[in-house]
């Protein structure tokens, strides 16, 4: 994609967040940025309860710290694997099969999630607390996109184990 064209596509994708579905809008923005995968869950519901049933059935998250009462929706968008990253020609320089010393910080999979919060404004501390609590649910890194009011906030979730 040419640079002016991608800028226009990114702007269109961002403008779509004004209305519409958070999951669809976030998936589209990530696609424009070059991140897409068919590895997803076909969940009938994106409620907090469905999220907890799928990802926290052992009760690792502290419900109050996670501000669950503030969650409107919670979407698991997709899982991006090393094989899928290799498919993109602009990522050809990444070698996931390097020989040599072991680096535990190298991951072969990455998750993308989106949470819509009910209120219009949240402190950075509240969003960090939510992110930390969700972190307990995953053994791999993830990108979490929060939407509240007119704001989109990305947060990185790193493996806590």
Taking only the tens place, the pLDDT of each residue in 44-83 is 889 999 999 888 878 888 989 999 999 999 999 998 887 7
- Among candidate residues 160, 121, 137, 139, the one with its CA nearest the CA of residue 54: 137
How far, in Å, CA of 140 to CA of 157, rounded?
A: 8
What mean pLDDT do residues 105-119 have? 83
Unique residue bearing structure tokens 């907890």: 52
Phi, psi of 94 (to 5 degrees): -80, 125
Instruction: Provide the 3-class DSSP secondary structure of residue 7.
Output: helix
Residue 41 reports pLDDT greater than 50: yes
> What is residue 159's predicted lDDT score, i.e. its pLDDT?
62
- In this prediction, residue 85 carries a pLDDT of 65
Q: Is the confidence at residue 94, as pLDDT, over 50? A: no
For 20: left if phi > 0, alpha if psi spans -120 to 50, otherwise beta; the answer is left
Taking all residues of the chain, what is their mean pLDDT, rounded to a whole number?
82
Residue 24 has pLDDT above 80, yes or no: yes
Taking 60 as the threshold, does the pLDDT of residue 114 lie above it? yes
Q: Per-residue pLDDT for 137 more than 80? A: yes
Range of the domain at 107: 3-157
Of the two residues 159 and 94, the one the predictor is more confident about is 159
Total tally of structural domains belonging to the chain = 1
Q: What is the mean pLDDT of residues 77-102?
A: 60
Rounded Cα distance between 46 and 63, Å, is 17
pLDDT at 92: 44
Alpha carbon distances (Å) from 125 to 9, 25, 71, 121, 161: 32, 25, 16, 12, 22
CA distances, 33 to each of 83, 95, 96 (Å): 18, 20, 21
């Amino acid at each position: 994609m040419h640079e002016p064209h991608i800028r226009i596509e990114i702007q269109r994708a961002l403008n779509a967040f004004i209305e519409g579905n958070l999951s669809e809008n976030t998936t589209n923005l990530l696609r424009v940025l070059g991140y897409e995968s068919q590895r997803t869950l076909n969940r009938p519901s994106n409620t907090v309860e469905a999220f907890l049933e799928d990802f926290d059935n052992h009760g690792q998250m502290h419900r109050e710290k996670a501000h669950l009462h503030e969650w409107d929706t919670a979407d698991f968008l997709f899982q991006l694997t090393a094989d899928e990253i290799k498919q993109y020609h602009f990522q050809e320089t990444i070698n996931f099969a390097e020989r040599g010393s072991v680096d535990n910080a190298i991951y072969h999979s990455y998750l993308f999630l989106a949470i819509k919060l009910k209120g219009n404004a949240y402190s950075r501390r509240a969003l960090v607390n939510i992110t930390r609590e969700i972190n307990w649910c995953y053994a791999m890194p993830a990108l979490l996109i929060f939407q509240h009011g007119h704001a989109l906030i990305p947060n990185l979730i790193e493996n806590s184990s």
